[in-house]
Amino acid sequence: MIKSILKKALVTTALLTVATFSAQAKDTIVWWDFLGGGDGVRMKAMIDEFNKEHADTVEIQATTLDWGTPFYTKVQTSAAIGEGPDMMTYHLSRLPLGVSSGALSEITPEELAAAGIKGTDYAATNWKAAQVGGKQYAVPLDIHSIVLYYNKDLLKAAGLLGDDGKPKGLDGAANWDAALAKLTANGVQGLSTATADGATLWRIFYSLLNQQDGQFMTADNKFLDGANLDKAVKATTEMASWVKNGWLAPQTEYPASIALFTSGKAAFHINGVWEVPTMVDLAKNKKLGFEWGAVQLPTFYDHPATWADSHSFAIPNNKGKEVPAAKRKLVLDTIAWFDKHSLEWAGGGHLPAFSPVREGADFKALKPNSDYSTLAATAAFDPVSVLAGVASPVYDAAGNFLIPAVSGDLAPKDAMDQMRDDLQGQVQ
């Protein structure tokens, strides 16, 4: 920890020193991100590539900060005194809070057009998730979601693997339940997922809710209103039944849930696409011991839908320091460059938000990403509210009410009633 902080400090100092002494003619872009994981390595490679390509004109000075609440607090405090970066990464789900606290700067249609960024180059729901009140505040970089990881060997033995190497006959809650029942045998459980982690359960729950056209929060700030409550109870009851029937272990921590799958003790695993590199690396080093794959979540109810969030680029609203138009143009050109080069970013499991890349031949050849890329068309983004999004009160509520409901400590109906009341009480 201390070592990595020292390293970061040294790198930052080195960067600053280089910046101070380098030629004045070169433009610099100060960049903040929260990508400290496996995907951060890929982002650094992309930044290096950008800097090399623009060696005579532009240089990105990147700093990686702590993910989550610390990052967004820092952005907000620094923007308030005009010391924010020129650009930064941002979760689309956290955009509403950023806008309401005045930390984000609006990107005008003229500016977007000047940089050649078009809304039609992105999935419609994705582009809309980058807006608050009809105004554009960010440009999406990727779509990340949850997917169904599966153990091909176990599925084949159970007769659930199609000729194309993908699971078959999982659509419809009854079929899915039957598959889990069949796969749970000989010390193997049908499914593993982080049942002790509210965020993971939220992503599954929100997918199941949207598959029934349920609305978690209506436009007039009503949580689980009317028939939406029944749909939520239905989704929760389904999830709780997996535990009740012994197909899914309750109270499993995030790392342990991955270990259950990678050690062959679970046939299915539901988790974010960001764990794709984990599986790829294990398989490459021959440590996995079975063939694996990943597909879009099955359709339990009326139509496909999967929870999704997006990493995007945003410009902070640096108070008292008006950014010259030329600099903003440069930042937007840079954003456009990264979106066009987002194939490399897809190596982290993410789906490029930029449709020409996502639908291009190179991406189609990228496995397993292209096996689940269809989910982008039916992605269900978090409700647009200051109460929703990464590390928000909604995520907390998922921990407080979904976990006991799924583990069987609380009846699904009671859990949803309490969740609604808790969140409704926080609306101002």
Partner 1 sequence: MLKSKRAEMLTAFVLIAPFVLVYAVLFVYPTAKMVQLSFTNAPLIGDGDFVGFDNYIRVFKDRLFSTAVWDTVYFVLLTVIPSTLLGLLIALGVNRLKGFTQSLVLAAFFLPYILPVSVVYRIWSWMFDKQFGIAQYVISAFTGGTHVAVFRTIPLFMPSVAFITVWWLVGFNVLLFIAGLRNISTEIYEAASLDGASRFAQFRRITWPLIWPVTVLVMTIQLILQLKIFDQVYLFANGGRTDATIVLVQYIYKWAFQKNQGGMGATVSLLLFAIIIIFSVLQYQLLRSRGEK
- Our finding on whether 100 is near partner 1 (CB under 8 A) is yes
From 119-127, 194-202, 274-282, 335-343, span contacting partner 1 (CB under 8 A): 194-202
From 133-141, 169-177, 240-248, 389-397, span contacting partner 1 (CB under 8 A): 389-397
Task: Kindly tell me the sign of the dihedral angle through the C-alpha atoms of 371, 357, 307, 189.
Answer: positive
Q: Which of 386, 415, 416, 423 binds partner 1 (CB under 8 A)?
A: 386
- Our finding on whether 342 is near partner 1 (CB under 8 A) is no
Going residue by residue from 26 to 65, which x/- string records binding to partner 1, judged by CB under 8 A?
Answer: ----------------------------------------
Residue whose CB is less far from partner 1, 342 or 392: 392
- Our finding on whether 179 is near partner 1 (CB under 8 A) is no
CA-based R_g, the chain, Å: 22
- Our finding on whether 218 is near partner 1 (CB under 8 A) is no
130/113 Cα distance (integer angstroms): 16
- At residue 347, φ and ψ (nearest 5 deg) are -60, -20
Q: Which of 66, 253, 359, 414 binds partner 1 (CB under 8 A)?
A: 253
- Our finding on whether 254 is near partner 1 (CB under 8 A) is yes
Going residue by residue from 258 to 297, which x/- string records binding to partner 1, judged by CB under 8 A?
Answer: -xx-------------------------------------
- Minimum distance from CB of 1 to partner 1 (Å)? 7
- Minimum distance from CB of 296 to partner 1 (Å)? 25
Which residues ranging from 398 to 417 are in contact with partner 1 (CB under 8 A)? 399-400, 403-404
Length of the chain as a residue count: 428
Which residues ranging from 58 to 97 are in contact with partner 1 (CB under 8 A)? 69, 73, 76-77, 80, 97
122/124 Cα distance (integer angstroms): 6
- Our finding on whether 105 is near partner 1 (CB under 8 A) is no
Contact residues: partner 1, CB under 8 A: 1, 69, 73, 76-77, 80, 97, 100-102, 194, 196-199, 249-254, 256, 259-260, 386-387, 391-393, 396, 399-400, 403-404, 422, 426
